[in-house]
Amino acid sequence: MFVRRVRLSFWIGLGLALTALTACTPILDKTKLRHDGVVERMTVTAPAVARKGGPACGGAKLAAGVKGGEKSGSGFTPTMGYRVGPGDNLRFNIFGETGMSDLTARVDDAGFVQLPIVELVRVGGKTTRDIQAELKEAYAPHFINPWITVELVNAESAPLYFLGEFREPGVRYMKGATNVLEAVALAGGLGPDAYLPGARLLRDDRICTVDLNALLRNGDFAQNVWMKPRDVLFAPLKEDMSVYALGAVNRPQAIAFGAEGRTLLQVLSMAGGPVPGQAHLAEIRIIRTASPTQGELIVVDATAMLAGRGLDFPLEPGDVVFVPRTVLGDWNVAIGEILPSLQVIGGVLTPITLIESLKND
């Protein structure tokens, strides 16, 4: 068979320094290949990544956002109750005191508000109940047993950013502990053309290993993690994604997937064709990213296609096509060559974290 697929299912380790990457990638063991009537497959795993046991960001495990449930993991978990921050607007009432009702104040960048008599009051990082108790104490020397209420009017200190195919993209604000499903609802849900396998959660300049496709399509609630202020949810169009032609081609580049999709021979042609006398077309390597957490390693014999003995191979958004210059015994050489090129290309949708994780295991 001219196509051999090697399936891979693993949790991706993000933010790994290149100097920490080790060379322990899967070797194509032909004795373990099995034929299923269409292709030959070999199942492999990446044990070090699998041990992380769930969604992660920057090496820290993320807790599922179940309110009232157990919060575990070393990643971000919210404190219950909204914490006031810069940009929020608060309303204060001291009942029965002249001129002290319906006072509104905006929290400044340092976390303070200005109020009559007591002047500057630090409210940043506190709940409205905390602020109420402290104001009662602060006003006690001025009023007899003051009755004080504190109300959050506008919450603007904990923004979430929605990019791409959401019904209402833009900035929304958290008003308390918010998980992924609640965040998606804040943006009106996903549009009909959103490409869920390409959807990503970005946090602190990292792509988290949260599988939005598994959550929204398959009900995998382990992916329904807590959101953190300034998180970005990104959902692309399928045609906005790219495929990547690298290795022994004349013009290595990212190629738009487009509305009609791409095939292997199309992409090789658009990359200027194989380098004459150098390209080893019998073992073209493809790294396929199905989500931040799953993918496939594929080996394709393009010589059969060019000779008319096989059909052109359809690609998927995000595929990395690597044309080697020599016969490769395992994936380590291929990944070592692919990684620098993808780093130059960069971008949210570049599957560089998947490849880093392969090299790291």
- pLDDT tens-digit series, residues 290-341: 776 677 777 888 888 888 877 888 998 888 898 988 776 566 666 677 777 6
Q: What is the pLDDT of residue 49?
A: 40
Rounded to the nearest 5 degrees, what angle is found at the Cα of 97, between the Cα atoms of 89 and 114? 35
Best-predicted range by mean pLDDT (47-51, 175-179, 299-303): 175-179
The mean predicted confidence, pLDDT, of the chain is 78
289 touches 348 (CB < 8 A): no
**Exposure of 317 in the CB half-sphere (CA atoms within 13 A):** 20
Is the predicted pLDDT of residue 34 greater than 60, yes or no? Answer: no
Which helix (H) or strand (E) element contains residue 41? strand 40-41
More confident position, 254 or 12:
254
- pLDDT tens-digit series, residues 226-243: 999 999 999 999 888 889
CA 66 → CA 43, 55, 170, 178, distances in Å? 33, 14, 25, 9
More confident position, 286 or 107:
107
Whole-angstrom Cα distance, residue 351 to residue 337?
14
Whole-angstrom Cα distance, residue 262 to residue 239?
10
Largest CA distance in the chain: 94
Q: What is the pLDDT of residue 354?
A: 54
Whole-angstrom Cα distance, residue 84 to residue 129?
11
What is the average per-residue pLDDT within 147-157? Answer: 93
- pLDDT tens-digit series, residues 70-97: 444 446 667 667 899 999 999 999 998 8
Residue 113 dihedral angles phi and psi, to the nearest 5°: -125, 160
Q: What is the pLDDT of residue 25?
A: 41
Is the predicted pLDDT of residue 142 greater than 80, yes or no? Answer: yes
More confident position, 273 or 292:
273
Is the predicted pLDDT of residue 11 greater than 80, yes or no? Answer: no
